[in-house]
Amino acid sequence: MIDFNDYQERAITTKIYSDEIGVPYVVLGIIGEVGEFIEKMKEVEDEFEKDLLTKEIGDVYWYLAGFFSEIEKNMGDHIQFTKTLLAVDDAIEIIMIAPAQLAELTKKFLRDEYPNQMSAERFEKIVKLIQQLHDAMYFLCSEYQVNLEDVLEANIAKLQSRKDRGTLGGDGDTR
């Protein structure tokens, strides 16, 4: 089983954004990567596209790890593996809606509470959305016969390689 706290600790070593923009940056990252995931999901017909799809899944989780780091919480304490049974259309709907709801809650956090700690009530709402997003992503991983643990390990390896080569910044999947 995946140890999300370990993943978060390793993922955050590849952070290159400044602390001052941390929360909005990672939330925008979640939204952007989910959008890329949806875009690539429409294209999955062979192993090459499936590989690109799994890279986007890994990137979504990297930004989730960043979110928990920015608010000084442990990812593994708040994301659970559930046996949620979804239809593919329901999982896709969650993936499309949850990031927008996360953006709305984050906007209100930035307006009402930042730079102070996030209220427990708002945090619980965000965690519920993140859990729904995780459930949907995990479900779709099983639908595409992808092991999430392998995806996360590959994500760390990809980002560590970019860090070692000085290419964490920039654009494109093949830097």
This prediction has a pTM of 0.90
pLDDT at 27: 96
pLDDT at 110: 94
Tens-digit pLDDT profile for residues 31-83: 999 999 888 887 766 665 667 778 899 999 999 999 999 999 999 999 988 87
Can you say how many angstroms the Cα of residue 25 is from the centroid of all Cα atoms in its chain?
Answer: 12
Residues 6+ positions from 160 with CB-CB distance below 8 Å? 13, 14
Asked if the model's pLDDT at residue 115 lies above 80, the reply is yes
* Distance (Å, whole) CA 96 – CA 65: 19
Residue 167: count other Cβ atoms within 10 Å of its Cβ.
12
Can you say how many angstroms the Cα of residue 164 is from the centroid of all Cα atoms in its chain?
Answer: 22
Could you tell me the residue ranges of all domains in the chain? 4-165
Residues 6+ positions from 46 with CB-CB distance below 8 Å? none
For residue 57 the two structure tokens come to 């899944």
**In the predicted model, what is the mean pLDDT of residues 114-128?**
94
Cis peptide, bond prior to residue 24, ω within 30 of zero: no
pLDDT at 47: 60
pLDDT level of residue 94 (50, 70, 90 thresholds): very high
Tens-digit pLDDT profile for residues 146-157: 899 999 999 999
145: left (phi over 0), alpha (psi -120 to 50) or beta: left
pLDDT at 108: 96
